[in-house]
Amino acid sequence: MSFAGQTTLIMGVLNVTPDSFSDGGRWASTDAAIAHGLELAAQGAHIVDVGGESTRPGAERVPVPAELERVLPVVRELAGRGIRVSIDTMNSETARAAVDAGAQLVNDVSGGLADPAMGPLVADRGVDYVVMHWRGHSRTMNDLAHYTDAAREIREELFRRVDALEADGVAPERIIVDPGLGFAKTSDHNWDVLRHLRDFETAGLPVLLGASRKRFLSDLMWDGATPQDRDLPSAVVAALAAREGVWGVRVHDVVSTRIALDVVRHWDGGSAAMGTESGRGIR
């Protein structure tokens, strides 16, 4: 994939779960989820990321049949309407069904570690694949946040996963990397990663960043601030990440992100509105 000079893509978050940290199950019903997916696309999301399992700290795993029941009707409907859809899952069975229903990208927060069949599945289906840095499931990940040099160690672990996936047959041009802000990382670790974003780009792979509404942003907020109150710093982080050359940002509030990225584009001499760009790089 070649992304030189392209617009930073906006991936809109669509949680089809009853226990999301960011929206409290607001889109848990199929009809509500489809409506919100359409809204995200209309607001300027290039990709709508559909997930049926919460990965908030302490979250319990969701059985695959329940995950499929949540996401498949949504993926099928949105893809059928011409929206680029990604499936946010750690399960190869869910990924297979979602891709067959029209998803064009698999966004796996475990980077293939949770399900060894994921790499071969992605290779077989020939879809784009987000490989995130991950050390363990939600129940235990906070206990695993120990680093001596966070950004360097996270990058090394992440690219070892890339090597393993390529050995599984995943084409390098299909791989997108995500440093995994908030997953087995303290606030200090997250900020260290952000300060070293360009180090994650040195291998020539596209970088997806998911800072939106993450808990570390609450350090900048007032007492009692809600996850939704974090949309302003989320948009600022997205804009700064765009200046660093990231391929995409995964966000809950598409409107504020689109405006922030428009500011960056105009600052850098562009003229087209971000929301009018197509989702290039996703086949």
Catalytic center residues: 214, 250
Report the length, in residues, of the chain: 283
**Among candidate residues 33, 132, 20, the one with its CA nearest the CA of residue 83:** 33
How many Å apart are CA 86 and CA 129, to the nearest integer? Answer: 9
Burial (Cβ within 10 Å: 0-12, 13-18, ≥19) of residue 227? buried
Q: Are 252 and 213 in contact (CB under 8 A)?
A: yes
